[in-house]
Structure 1
């Protein structure tokens, strides 16, 4: 590569990197607020969910520091040193590893949701797990190999590995989102408020995979069209932040989704990430899909005295659109278990 081409690569890279750092910094601010909100509002969550949020935020912070150091090193420290700008700085290589860590943690969490929602579907979970591990392995391999390089021109020879990371990441995100959509959609009960709640869950699940997939595809397209400029870093810098914000938004939305039940007359709705198996209703004739959202519809019983015959008639009035009769107890109830 000639000196002119090398300078062109550096200039385009730094321009894209600067834009990427600004966007990532804005998203990092959002993730900090969401993290604070989570620990303030969900203090009773199980330890592994709290640990996931804490570790993701920590890796987010390290990643933001690394990409900020990269841009500062080239744009400020070595602004008038074109020779040094042609060389790779360690921080832009190490950030790939932390981006991979964030993606691995979030995708593993979502894979566990697919496992529970799909009634422990081994085949589907195995495919998703292989994709997640492949993406993480490629990120680690990219970091190790790139640490041996010294110039931006050398880094362009690793296009294949960069494309693999983005392709596998996009496929795994789409597959996770599609699986969650399918399993949640088939859990609809026919009750207006419970279906509204499930629609909210579907929205969060699809948006989780959609944002990260679009960013990964944009990064891939940038590699294919502008392979010598490394413009793809503008998208790749923000990828980890999208992962962290999407999972935090899903966790923090639980109270608002639970409020869909509390605002109405449907009784008690429980949405829990750590409750996966509950008892089956006695009126069930078939084994329903296991879930981890439990909806209980409380009913009222009216006793009307017949003054003419002197008898006592019992009428069961239900506050929902459908009814199920329990001949022994005179109580109408539906239990839907939906995994989150």
Structure 2
């Protein structure tokens, strides 16, 4: 009598392959955000304000869109290799693929460009060389680490090491880079809000502009900071897995959309620039300084004490000309 067939034991799927699903969700989420980037870029170039922007700003938006497109193509290529070309090969989930460090490389250039733009905005508001120098140094050091990590990754690929083995060797640099990214972003956002609030005065319209600027800065900056922090924590908790890619794919796109939101929101922030400051506002300013609130005194104050009005013009120019 023939022996009964022995039931084969199920093949154990490596954990590094099982967590590809989380990274794939990151590709889906980044594709959605990339679509928003395309819409915002289209909206910027079709706005009236973009026609009067400096050429360097228009080129910056174009370069960021190109970099984001390249980043998205690398992310798609990575998971096409893992999930389509090697759908029946679980061990391929630990292959050191070139598109992984390439994504980090492109992200580094995106974050350098966006943060440099924000640092220039801080300079226009504060004219504080020490503060700007601190932000710039952190930005450059962070960029250097973002360049070293993928460069070192590429150099280790010919040795035949797996992705997890290479990342284990580079974990210190990855952790330091992500930590500096979180610190730099928080410092730039906090500094920008602080410098804007310092410009508040007694002219209602200037204060309204500043409040709107702060709202947009906090809203967009907080969202970017949350993803950077989540990316940092995930990398610390599971550096050898692909869970971190869910957030890493979105960091650069969040920065680009934060910048585009600030540019496309200038009409809302600045408001109607043809509407002059009313005499009632000048009268309120005079009363707050202990002067007579009569129409004549208010008119004299508008001519002799024009600093608040200049502040208003400077705020509009500093924001609308970026």
User: What residue in structure 2 maps to residue 209 of structure 1?
Assistant: 221
- 1:320 is displaced (CA, Å) by 6.4
- 4+ residue segments displaced more than 3 Å: 317-321, 323-333
In the alignment, the residues of structure 2 paired with residue 89 and residue 95 of structure 1 have an alpha-carbon distance, to the nearest angstrom, of: 11
In the alignment, the residues of structure 2 paired with residue 328 and residue 225 of structure 1 have an alpha-carbon distance, to the nearest angstrom, of: 61
> What is the aligned length?
286
Q: Which moved more, 1:60-69 or 1:149-158?
A: 149-158
1:177-196 matches, within 5 Å, as 177-196=189-208
Superposed CA deviations along residues 221-260 of structure 1, whole A, max 9, x for unmatched, are: 1122223323111101100000100000001111122225
TM-score computed with the length of structure 1 as normaliser: 0.78
1:246-325 matches, within 5 Å, as 246-259=258-271, 266-267=275-276, 297=277, 299=279, 321-323=284-286, 325=298
Are 1:235 and 2:243 matched, yes or no?
no
In the alignment, the residues of structure 2 paired with residue 115 and residue 237 of structure 1 have an alpha-carbon distance, to the nearest angstrom, of: 30
Superposed CA deviations along residues 161-190 of structure 1, whole A, max 9, x for unmatched, are: 111121101101110011111110011122
- 1:78 is displaced (CA, Å) by 0.9
- 1:29 is displaced (CA, Å) by 0.6
**Structure 1 residues 223, 330: CA separation in 2 closer, same or farther (over 3 Å shift)?**
closer
Are 1:162 and 2:168 matched, yes or no?
no
**Structure 1 residues 228, 18: CA separation in 2 closer, same or farther (over 3 Å shift)?**
same
Q: SS at the partner of 1:135?
A: helix
- CA RMSD across the alignment: 2.4
1:36-55 matches, within 5 Å, as 36-41=42-47, 42-55=50-63
Q: SS at the partner of 1:188?
A: coil
> 8 Å contact 1:326–1:332 — kept in the other structure?
no
User: What residue in structure 2 maps to residue 305 of structure 1?
Assistant: none
Which of the pair is proportionally richer in strand? 1
1:1-40 matches, within 5 Å, as 7-12=14-19, 14-40=20-46
**Residue 136 of structure 1, aligned match among 143, 146, 155:** 143
- 1:98 is displaced (CA, Å) by 0.2
Superposed CA deviations along residues 30-56 of structure 1, whole A, max 9, x for unmatched, are: 110000010110222110110110000
TM-score computed with the length of structure 2 as normaliser: 0.82
- 1:208 is displaced (CA, Å) by 3.6
**Structure 1 residues 243, 222: CA separation in 2 closer, same or farther (over 3 Å shift)?**
same
Q: SS at the partner of 1:227?
A: coil
> 8 Å contact 1:70–1:91 — kept in the other structure?
yes
Q: SS at the partner of 1:190?
A: coil
Which of the pair is proportionally richer in helix? 2
